[in-house]
Amino acid sequence: MPLPRERKRADYRVIARILQLSHGQGNPKDSLLKKITLVFTRKGGSWVLFFEGHPKHSKLLKIVIKAVVKHKKEQYERRNRCKTSRED
């Protein structure tokens, strides 16, 4: 997996860097980056405005990243709970 600065897409580089700094994920998968990008644009985010420095879009990106990471974590925990309950 490439480091955040080695990714070809600027949006992936930004998301990967935020994940690295704020959530401790050093090498996020491209599927996670793609999901965050899709949610960001569906919620009205604009990459053009983000890169121009509009605070509304910066805040929206951080909120989306936090929500997607939380959702993924909850999915993982739910799966593990189901596996342990089946073993009992």
Written as six digits, the tokens of 45 are 């985010």
Residue with tokens 């925990």: 77
pLDDT at 6: 75
Cα 51 to Cα 1, 24, 26, 56: the distances in Å are: 25, 23, 22, 12
| 32-57: average pLDDT | 96
**pLDDT tens for each residue of 16-44:** 999 999 998 888 999 999 999 999 999 99
Of 23, 1, 26, which Cα lies nearest the Cα of 67? 23
Would the pTM count as exceeding 0.85?
no
- Please state whether 79 falls in left (phi above 0), alpha (psi between -120 and 50) or beta: alpha
| 54-62: average pLDDT | 97
Count, residues in the chain: 88
**pLDDT tens for each residue of 69-86:** 999 888 888 878 776 666
